[in-house]
Structure formats: C-alpha cells, structure tokens
C-alpha cells in the first residue's frame, strides 16, 4: 500500500519521483526511509544538514521537517531534478531553509563549510571513499552520517567507514549510520 499523507507528509513527492523516473529512466529513486531521516534530524537537534542526491526533494524535505530550525544544503547534478526540487521546496514553504545546489557532489562539497554540519545524508549513486571523506570533512565532531546505496558499488560499509578513530558505525541493509569521532 502506498504511504498516505497521514504517515508521510511528502507522500506526493515520493509518488511523483517514482513516476518521473519511470518516464525519464533516470536515477531518481526516492529513499524508502524518509521518516528515519526526520527522526534522526530531530534526535541530533540538527541546525545544519547536508545531503548528496536531492532527486525531486523527497529526502531533503523530510530532513528539514524533522529539524524545524535547520538549514539544509542538498546537492544534485541533474538540472531537471534541481528545477523540480526547488519548486517543491517553494510548494512546501521550505525554500528559505532547503538550498538546492546544482553540480557534481565532489565539486560542490568542496565549497561548503568544513566541520560545520550536524547531519549528512548520502543518497547519490554509489558511495565512494572520496565522497564519504568529503562528507566527513563537512561534519562537526559528533555529527552523524547516514549513507545509503551500500549495495550499488564496490564499497561496503566496512570499506567506507573502516577507520574506528574516524567513525563509530552501524549498518543495516543498504544503509550505514556513523558518528564522526
Ligand atoms: C537515489 S536518487 C536520490 C533520491 C533522493 N534522496 C530522494 O530520497 O528522493 C540519486 C540522485 O543523485 C543524483 N546524483 C548522482 N550522482 C551525483 C553526483 N555525483 N553529484 C550530484 N548528484 C548526483 C542523481 O541525479 C539522482 O537524482
């Protein structure tokens, strides 16, 4: 059964993202645990959040919803996804808090503040050591990384989060959650 607005305030974006992907054969697969992102954003009392892989804005809006005071920087390389996501942020009156950056993740990450973010969510294509390192550098000590898509590429959570001096990590299914030491 599809999620309803009663349990998922962004259910319409979830369904339009799936429809968009079916039409365009693109990589816009919405994260299937939106509420987990909202819960984590609330639990860490996030004030600054960073995301790689906006698609049409589903997970970015869940992150902003969970932490009502937070600013969210989200990065997306597909210009049509950027256009739609920015419009959805306006529709949900979150465009003052959710900033959709257009470009390649590694490039955009390099221009964002280091040691500044409370929560990071990776949901681009496959996580690479370079991207995880880029997010590590943006997180403050004690900040939390949620890394999706662990089964898409050659790297698993043990590879990506191998250094116990850098991360305290737990993985389940395709997702890892790790705290920056
Ligand atoms: C799995 S979807 C993201 C889904 C989104 N988080 C959600 O829950 O709706 C992956 C997105 O990452 C984007 N992407 C892939 N590689 C990227 C990169 N290197 N830099 C920026 N965006 C990238 C794709 O265009 C796609 O829109």
User: Is 74 part of a structural domain of the chain?
Assistant: yes
User: Is 38 part of a structural domain of the chain?
Assistant: yes
11: CB partners within 8 A, 6+ apart = 2, 3, 4, 5
Average pLDDT of the residues in 75-99:
98
Average pLDDT of the residues in 41-47:
98
Say how many domains are in the chain: 1
User: Is 107 part of a structural domain of the chain?
Assistant: yes
User: Is 5 part of a structural domain of the chain?
Assistant: no
pLDDT of residue 2: 61
User: Is 26 part of a structural domain of the chain?
Assistant: no
Contact 38, 65 (CB under 8 A): yes
Ligand 1 centroid from CA 45, angstroms: 25
Average pLDDT of the residues in 34-60:
98
Question: What CA–CA distance (Å, rounded) separates 154 from 180?
Answer: 23
Question: What CA–CA distance (Å, rounded) separates 112 from 116?
Answer: 9
User: Is 8 part of a structural domain of the chain?
Assistant: no
Contact 137, 156 (CB under 8 A): no
pLDDT of residue 1: 57
Average pLDDT of the residues in 116-127:
98
User: Which residue has the CA at smallest separation from atom 1 of ligand 1?
Assistant: 29
Question: What CA–CA distance (Å, rounded) separates 32 from 45?
Answer: 22
pLDDT of residue 3: 67
78 CB near ligand 1 (under 6 Å): yes
User: Is 116 part of a structural domain of the chain?
Assistant: yes
User: Domain range holding 121?
Assistant: 32-180
Q: What is the pTM of this model?
A: 0.97
List the CATH number of the domain containing 174: 3.40.50.150
Give the pLDDT confidence of 150-166 residue by residue, as tens digits.
999 999 999 999 899 99
């Amino acid at each position: 059964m599809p999620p309803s607005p009663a349990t998922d305030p962004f259910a319409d974006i979830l369904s339009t993202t799936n429809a968009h992907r079916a039409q365009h054969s693109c990589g816009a697969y919405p994260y299937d645990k939106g509420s987990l992102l909202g819960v984590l954003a609330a639990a860490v009392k996030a004030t600054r959040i960073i995301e790689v892989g906006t698609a049409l804005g589903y997970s970015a809006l869940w992150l902003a919803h969970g932490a009502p005071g937070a600013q969210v920087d989200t990065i997306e390389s597909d210009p049509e996804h950027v256009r739609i996501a920015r419009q959805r942020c306006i529709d949900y009156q979150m465009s003052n808090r959710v900033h959709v950056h257009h470009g390649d993740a590694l490039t955009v990450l390099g221009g964002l503040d280091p040691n500044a973010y409370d929560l990071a969510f990776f949901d681009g294509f496959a996580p690479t050591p370079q991207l995880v390192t880029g997010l590590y550098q943006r997180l403050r000590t004690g900040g939390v990384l949620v890394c999706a898509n662990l089964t898409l590429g050659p790297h698993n959570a043990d590879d990506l989060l191998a250094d116990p001096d850098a991360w305290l990590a737990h993985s389940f299914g395709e997702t890892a959650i790790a705290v920056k030491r």
